[in-house]
Structure 1
Amino acid sequence: MRKSSGWGLAILLMAVGVGVVTFWAVRALKANGPHETMLDALPELGWVRQEFHLSDEQFAKVRDLHASYRPKCVEMCDRIQRSHEELERVSRDARSLSPELRDAIERHAAVHAECQEAMVEHLYQTAAVLDEEQGKRYLDAMLPYALDFSHSEPASLHDH
């Protein structure tokens, strides 16, 4: 497995986390006014509404699911970041596959697995509020990112 293959999911999660943190920071700093409606609409979900032609009712459910998942996503992004930092520190200090390095690798893998499970659960919950065709298309688009299917792509795409 290439070193960068695990980073794809981490980068995606960090990007979502940055978006979430930015959203809440802007919301906390702004005064009540005409912008509140736009912020409450969660602009980062606009592509979902447009791509899958969601009704207002479907979008409201997706928006609510997304808003309730955000704190978990932020928490997982923080844990992944700390896990990456620990793994990098331990691996730099090690001269072999020491018990400490092995433990750091296992903790790192466990955090990634927990994150993937939470994200996949969220994706299935979201797909469940869509009609069958929309849900299938949504899962087809999103599961590869959540499960990091980059490992199953042809080797030529990875230059190895």
Structure 2
Amino acid sequence: MKHLLRTLLGLGAAAAAIGFMCYHLNSAPELHAAVRKGDAMAWLRTDFNLDERQFAEIKRLHAAYAPSCEEHCRMIQEAVKARDVVRKAQEVDPAAAAEAERTVQQLRATCESAITVHVQQVAAVMSPADGKRYLALVLPKIADFDHRVAPDLKLENQHQH
């Protein structure tokens, strides 16, 4: 029994070491560096095989979209605060609460529509295969965005309101 346990532990350690080596040998160091730094643009460039022209165009698209995105987030945050004030009032007015919620939802829909268009524009700059993969990765995350700050590519940025 003692030898069986040692053998199983040894096999487990060997499997973990081999898995670790395979992972690091088969992935791009540039990608790991971008993820460690939290550099979304470097991640895009590496993971989606962007050439200089594509990378410059995507940077331009991001820079052009950023002010609109920040404004959407600001308006949503203000609407959420106003909605929360209405909800926490001593005597909640159901009509006012419903209107405040409608405002939040309309602003979120506007934001999500705009960011969807932006993401599609970014994907259109990429090769067809990379653009399709980018859309498959990013589009599902749009509805879960929390609108507290302009979006990044971190996965933990989920809705909090």
Q: TM-score interval w.r.t. the shorter chain? A: 0.5 to 0.7
Residue matched to 1:10: none
Q: Percent identity?
A: 34
Aligned-residue offset at 1:95: 4.3
> What are the ranges of 5 or more consecutive residues in structure 2 without an aligned counterpart?
1-38, 146-161
Q: State the alpha-carbon separation in 2 of the partners of residues 129 and 52 from structure 1.
A: 11
The structure that is helix-richer by fraction is: 1
TM-score scaled by length of structure 2: 0.63
Partner residue in 2 for 1:129: 125
**Structural mapping, 1:71-150, within 5 Å:** 71-93=67-89, 95-96=91-92, 98-148=94-144
TM-score by length of 1: 0.63
Quote the residue 1:65 is aligned against.
Answer: 61
Q: Contact conserved, 1:127 with 1:135, CA < 8 A, in 2? A: yes
Distance (Å, rounded) in 1 between the aligned partners of 2:82 and 2:112: 20
RMSD of aligned Cα (Å): 1.6
Greater RCO (Cα-Cα under 8 Å, separation 6 or more): 1
Residue in structure 2 matched with residue 153 of structure 1 by the alignment? none
Report how far residue 94 of structure 1 moved: 5.8
Match of 2:36 in 1: none
Pairing partner for 1:50 from 46, 49, 53: 46
Distance 1:134 1:48 in 2: 10
Q: What is the match of residue 26 of structure 1? A: none
SS in 1 for 2:88: helix
Counterpart amino acid of 2:139? L
- Runs of at least 5 residues in structure 1 that lack an aligned partner in the other structure: 1-42, 150-160
2:52 maps to a residue whose letter is D
The structure with more radius of gyration: 2
Encode CA deviations 1:57-99: one digit per residue, 9 max, x unaligned: 1101100000000010110110111011011111111645611
